[in-house]
A and B are shown apart, each in its own frame.
Chain A
Amino acid sequence: MGTVHARSLDPLPMDGPDFGLQGDDAELVEVEPETKQEVLENKDVVVQRVHIDGLGRTKEDLLGYEIADVFGARNLIDVMKKSHEAREKLLRLGIFRQVEVVIDTSEGEDALPNGLDVTFEVTELRRLTGSYNTMVGNNEGSMVLGLKLPNLFGRAEKLTFQFSYGTKETSYGLSFFKPQPGQFERNFSLNLYKVTGQFPWSSLRETDRGISTEINFPIWRTNHSLKWEGVWRELGCLARTASFAVREESGHSLKSSLSVSSSCSAAGWASGGTADTVKQRESTRETEQASCTFVNELSEQNNLETLLDLFLVTITVLRFIVCNISTSAACYLVRFYLGGPTSVRGFSMYSIGPQSEGDYLGGEAYWAGGVHLYTPLPFRPGRGGFGDLFRTHFFLNAGNLCNLNYGEGPRAHLQRLAECIRWSYGAGIVLRLGNIARLELNYCVPMGAQSGDRICDGVQFGAGIRFL
């Protein structure tokens, strides 16, 4: 399949303090050639060549950055460690199906007695890969077909196309991704898409056709991204009976938005609940036909305490549109919605807050919080196996959603958010799927429901990725 690309680093760095020692090693090797490997294990070595075997269309210069560290190894343990790191880096590029590392002593004329050759045996991904899967969600089933061209021009560029054919709507997207050689985290992506969605709780149907460009770059231990998005948005009513407030929003609009987001994450996911401490600050500045400018602020914090086998998780979220320089109220789509099995349980999906003739209109600010106590299943059936995916949990959720009067100032806003709090409590069973998705079956008791809210008293089923 491939040519062999070899990089060698010779002559060796003569100025190293280990030079004298190297002379000793050489002598030792000469005396006892059979025990060469044993000697190398303990003594300093020099990586003379790094081979990458099995390259087809991948450009050599891209890999140079990823494997450069291997040359810096000074002893065998180091070589193995650095090779392993290099292997991880190569796999992360997403252009190889597998990467194997072979470390051997150097051979040939210029081989040093303590020289090593490291060979990465790689298998490239095919030029074109395809996938299909089915999805169920949002009262709709859909089939997703995907095409991927990994490593398009040989420098880890990626072109992906996704087409989703649903029972109600059809969506597609084309995306091009290009990392900077040598710094995979610093990358650029360009997306073109058309997404259609139905929102029965608001009797709305939305079609977005958009283009977005995004630049990601790391600074120290944080990740930042800068994103520009231009969207042509078309809104329509789902039914003739849609309320007039929703009908008034119908039509076409153009949105141009610039968003900056930074994140830093520590720790991973624990088995029972989320042990993830993520702080995200996102500010978005959007111009909707130059009439509506606003900024979102989001802050989230999840804490975890472990008490024997119990997990206690608290989550709070607060989001609001900071300012709204607009003659008309913010469009329903840029508002927030609250309620449902993934947020404030015991209420129907997005059915909290202002409404008009049964269509929920959303709000300009919301907060929500939850306290969960996770325990293993009673009597622990299927322990050590399937049963460990399940947890029982007791929860207490609270939240509020309202519109703000921007003339009133922050104190009045807080007061408004503190009035008429919706809350609920209950217990249920949680099933975690692959550390990402969650299924919940809960018995909920909603409290503090206001007139107009749609409650779901009793058993409620929830499936999703982000849970409160």
Chain B
Amino acid sequence: MSLAAEAFVSQIAAAEPWPENAKLYQPLKDDQILLSDHASSLAVQAYLRMCNLPVQVVCRANAEYMSPSGKVPFIHVGNQVVSELGPIVQFTKAKGHSLSDGLDEVQKAEMKAYMELVNNMLLTAELYIQWCDENTAMEITRPRYSSPYPWPLNHILAYQKQWEVRRKMKAIGWAGKTLEQVLEDMSQCCQALSQRLGTQPYFFNKQPTELDALVFGHLFTILTTQLTSDQLGEKVKNYSNLLSFCRRIEQNYFEDHDKDSLASSSSRFSKGPSLN
């Protein structure tokens, strides 16, 4: 199908209302999903909850390969498949659901800049710690990533993925960094976010936006995930307003919906001492 035809089809689909049976796909929750993927998945879930769009979370071992972009999570709505937060925000906007409509141009630009910051710093730091810190890679990342596969495929796929991530790190100049430098970068990112947030409930005052969803997804996951060391979480815990921000979103959007399957997924993570 040509690009124009594809665009046409997605426009037609966009005109349809949000269906009841929308699904969000992510890797297996207990045994497989990695910190970075869980963060991205949680960000999308938070965003859809903020938009009040129902979605059912489905765990699949091959979610990464099912995704059209090769990245999780992705949503299956009607006969459309959309992956990653950015395109999903565009997709919901086409269907008439948006959180950032109330913002002026300057605020929108600011929001995009902060989202880029989170993606470039937090997400990259998560990937670095998962795959480039040999301790974490050996003890947690590789065994979890390859858990659904039999020998010898588990080793092949895990090393293939590690090689891929390390190549990407080389391309963006992170390969030479030490763990301390990465943690320092992350700390700076958190400081910037903390300063921007200040005493407001959300980044743009009363109403949450996709930036809030993204920040929540990453910080909440970092705070509640046990890695080989606690350094990552400690950096975030230095900023009390970020902690209460996470708790606020969790309470407002996840704890009221306890009949949803999603609430049960997050309850496991809300066991973390920092948020109770």
Contacts and interface: CB of A to CB of B under 8 A. Distances in A.
Highest count of chain A CB atoms <10 Å: which of B1, B64, B66: B66
Range class of the A interface residue count = 10 to 19
Interface string A354-388: 00010000000000000000000000000000000
Contact of B150 (A235, A251, A254): A254
A232 B153 contact: yes
B257 to A, nearest CB: 26
Interface in B147-167: 149-150, 153, 156-157
A267 to B, nearest CB: 45
Contacts of A244: 76, 79, 81
Contacts of A237: 68
Interface in B72-96: 76, 79, 81
Interface in A237-261: 237, 239-241, 244, 247-248, 250-254
A251 B68 CA distance: 12
A252 B66 contact: no
B249 interface: no
Nearest to A237: B68
Interface in A206-264: 232, 234-237, 239-241, 244, 247-248, 250-254
Range class of the B interface residue count = 10 to 19
Contacts, number: 41
Contacts of B6: 240-241
Given A241-B1, A244-B76, A244-B79, A251 B153 contact: no
Nearest to A290: B150
B181 interface: no
Contact of A232 (B1, B60, B61, B156): B156
A331 B149 CA distance: 16
A357 B1 CA distance: 13
A250 B6 CA distance: 21
A451 interface: no
B179 to A, nearest CB: 31
B81 A240 contact: yes
B153 A357 contact: no
Nearest to B160: A252
A254 B153 contact: yes
Nearest to A234: B65
Contact of A252 (B9, B68, B76, B153): B153
Contacts of A131: none
A3 interface: no
A236 to B, nearest CB: 7
A289 interface: yes
B178 interface: no
A239 B156 contact: no
Nearest to A251: B62
Nearest to A235: B65
B230 to A, nearest CB: 33
Contacts of A239: 1
A395 to B, nearest CB: 35
Contacts of B9: 241
Contact of B65 (A232, A241, A252, A290): A252
A205 to B, nearest CB: 11
A195 B79 CA distance: 31
B1 A248 contact: no
A290 to B, nearest CB: 7
A252 B1 contact: no
Contacts of B1: 239, 241
Given A244-B79, A247-B81, A254 B149 contact: yes
Nearest to B76: A244
Given A240-B81, A241-B1, A357-B79, A247 B66 contact: yes
Nearest to B64: A251
Contacts of B150: 254, 289-290
12 contacts: A232-B153, A237-B68, A241-B6, A244-B79, A244-B81, A247-B81, A250-B66, A251-B65, A251-B66, A252-B62, A254-B153, A289-B150
Interface of A: 232, 234-237, 239-241, 244, 247-248, 250-254, 289-290, 357
Interface of B: 1, 6, 9, 60-62, 64-66, 68, 76, 79, 81, 149-150, 153, 156-157
Given A240-B68, A244-B81, A252-B157, 14 more contacts: A232-B156, A235-B65, A237-B68, A240-B6, A240-B81, A241-B6, A247-B81, A250-B65, A251-B61, A252-B62, A252-B65, A252-B149, A253-B153, A254-B150
